[in-house]
Structure 1
């Protein structure tokens, strides 16, 4: 894993790739029911995001973290459409999907993805790469095309360098060149059969922009005593705000212009309260947090920051109960039009975020790589202060409370 942190304009990018290999041994307004399904999906997705974040946090507690729970869910969700048996059940439980209801899962993703098909600021793209001379089953292809807006392309994985270059170029083109080299050539070989890829790029302007002339260096506390100087943005405006006793933290929602997206910031009361906050979030319904906010005049001090993060997610997903898809017992019999059996060999995730006075740019990508399974194993003038001068948690969410991006700022950007 590598991490690179800087200070610049606001951007977010994410990519994820899921790689499978083989083995030879045998937008209209939703009705009430849809809305309820979307709310339940948002609730369980938020829990998945928190559980995954806690795993990452314990690996990198002092790091500036950025990842996309939605990108990961979407990419692994495509793989779920080709899964059967206990593999499918593990994915449903681990990702918070309706149990054994492929149609409901596919429709939920479709309802979210369809909202942003023509969005100028949030781009979500899915892609399926298939080993040359192979093809996917018709039903799987239809779901991927109509529900996930994904297209399929044949590629020769045995030429690992050329295949990786093709996939990586696609990812770059979908993330404004923010996510590079997602797939290392060593992750692909002649046993690779399918690579599922999701890429997200977001570039939004704040509804209330921070005046650049008000940005000045200020203290950011690493603990109760030690601090570093960081560029701190300053703004007075009306935002959704609350102090939540059950989290012992202040919560601020900063909306983006011309969209249903906003950045949610959860700031612990204590300079060393981030670890405790993560524990409290485990039993907290993050999907309902905005309902507890009220329009408030707030004096915001918020650091400019930039972060990159990369992680191979096998250990994290196994930790969340999704072990079978990585084993020789994996069941993906509804994906490939072949007798070969598939297992996931890698799930690769890369993310980027940049926050400044004008807004946020972010990108992410996820890849799932599947191989052939082998026989081897206040008052009118009073502004409530919101001073983010200590480690905090943040997320970019939409109006359906889906967490598109999430992370923490724990130290100064490099």
Structure 2
């Protein structure tokens, strides 16, 4: 049975934000870039989501994607650097400030009361003259593991994929395929693992099969059911609910619009900030389908559509801050894999992004009943950092 579920995990940087958002977290001695930050990184995630969404299941981690791209961004120069900055919406942030902000974001998310683990790595072909500054900045700000391998050796691919397994709690088994292309100089990898228990779990005894109205027809799936007080939003076009994890700072937001395509047209960082102001405590009945799936996608086309095409151009790309012959180097592929499972106890999710670099041959609280039995939108949000960790649309939870 085909699935029709879309998920997006959006990276937000710990930087200045409007009055409609929570205050920026500023631990003593830590510098936080103020130029674009939270709003820009959330919008980058929404932009990427819009490029990849459709009527089929999608699962993304913009946190993973943006951190991997940020590592590569440190090696870019000229027009390539400009294009990557514009795609990530960080052109107003100094590179040093951006790196410091990303470091603080990683630390802050990993200090959550739920489990968030973020890891980065650089895998270099043996003998490639990588510039020391590029390696050092990725070790310093991204805590990247740096390894040099013989890419022609049969053990290279299993070694890299073992790192992927270890940093996704075995949810994702591999990201690199064998054999490695003879032109490949490096892989830049990011992995994100998330596990959060609901603050108030669903009772398994209340889970029962019911009908979900997918675009292709009705499907029968297990629905979790609960009557309780929730943070709830309703207007003429949608219902929305906030489901917290742990102590309540991290949460999944579920948006159930009358028309998901129309909802997508409204989906921006500004609209998200406005919606958040409208949630009020209300007692109601919630029926939510359980779901579990994985996804794999090359992101070259989506990132090109967002303005980063020069980085994939084997003639025009400029990564002269990465390797000695950087003007002859380009990104051959940005590949993404992700997994999520939502059940009565909470949520477990993981994602890996691989960047392959090659050498060119040149109103008052209402009473409500909310039965999530048609396509809906959801988010997992961290209140302390304002990071939107997951965002998605469920077309078919079966």
Give me the whole-angstrom Cα distance separating, in 2, the residues matched to 1:278 and 1:150: 35
- From 162, 177, 183, the equivalent of 2:170 is 177
- From 232, 256, 262, the equivalent of 1:267 is 256
- In structure 1, the partner of 2:371 is 387
1:131-142 matches, cutoff 5 A: 131-142=125-136
Q: What is the CA distance between 1:139 and its match in structure 2?
A: 2.1
Unaligned runs of 5+ in 1: 15-26
- From 194, 198, 209, the equivalent of 1:202 is 194
Q: What is the CA distance between 1:288 and its match in structure 2?
A: 5.3
Unaligned runs of 5+ in 2: 11-23
Q: Is the 8 A contact 2:33 2:93 kept in 1?
A: no
Normalised by the length of structure 1, the TM-score is 0.84
SS class of match (2:92): coil
- From 261, 277, 282, the equivalent of 1:296 is 282
- In structure 1, the partner of 2:148 is 154
> Are residues 1:397 and 2:381 paired?
yes
Q: What is the CA distance between 1:173 and its match in structure 2?
A: 0.6
Segment drifting more, 352-361 vs 326-335: 326-335
> Are residues 1:235 and 2:222 paired?
no
- From 357, 360, 368, the equivalent of 2:344 is 357
Q: What is the CA distance between 1:295 and its match in structure 2?
A: 2.5
Q: What is the CA distance between 1:151 and its match in structure 2?
A: 1.8
- In structure 1, the partner of 2:392 is 407
1:46-61 matches, cutoff 5 A: 46-58=42-54, 61=55
Task: Give per-residue Cα distances to partners, 1:122-180, cap 9 Å, x unaligned.
Answer: 11100011111235323222221121111211012233x53222111100110011112
Q: What is the CA distance between 1:96 and its match in structure 2?
A: 1.5
Give me the whole-angstrom Cα distance separating, in 2, the residues matched to 1:287 and 1:78: 28
Give me the whole-angstrom Cα distance separating, in 2, the residues matched to 1:244 and 1:77: 38
Q: What is the CA distance between 1:28 and its match in structure 2?
A: 7.4
- From 352, 358, 379, the equivalent of 1:371 is 358
- In structure 1, the partner of 2:139 is 145
- Report how many residues are paired: 380
Give me the whole-angstrom Cα distance separating, in 1, the residues matched to 2:60 and 2:109: 20
> Are residues 1:111 and 2:104 paired?
yes
Segment drifting more, 398-407 vs 310-319: 398-407
Residues 293/322 of structure 1: CA separation in 2 closer, same or farther (3 Å cut): same
- In structure 1, the partner of 2:307 is 321
- In structure 1, the partner of 2:39 is 43
SS class of match (1:203): strand
SS class of match (2:50): helix
Give me the whole-angstrom Cα distance separating, in 2, the residues matched to 1:132 and 1:13: 34
Task: Give per-residue Cα distances to partners, 1:174-227, cap 9 Å, x unaligned.
Answer: 0011112211125x222211110000111110001101111111121125x942
Q: Is the 8 A contact 1:13 1:353 kept in 2?
A: no
- In structure 2, the partner of 1:87 is 80
1:328-339 matches, cutoff 5 A: 328-337=315-324
Q: What is the CA distance between 1:412 and its match in structure 2?
A: 3.6
Give me the whole-angstrom Cα distance separating, in 2, the residues matched to 1:36 and 1:133: 36
> Are residues 1:279 and 2:265 paired?
yes
Give me the whole-angstrom Cα distance separating, in 2, the residues matched to 1:385 and 1:208: 18
Residues 283/66 of structure 1: CA separation in 2 closer, same or farther (3 Å cut): same
SS class of match (1:374): coil
Residues 314/115 of structure 1: CA separation in 2 closer, same or farther (3 Å cut): same
Give me the whole-angstrom Cα distance separating, in 1, the residues matched to 2:246 and 2:98: 30
Question: Which has the higher relative contact order, 1 or 2, with Cα contacts under 8 A spaced 6 or more apart?
Answer: 1
Residues 130/289 of structure 1: CA separation in 2 closer, same or farther (3 Å cut): farther
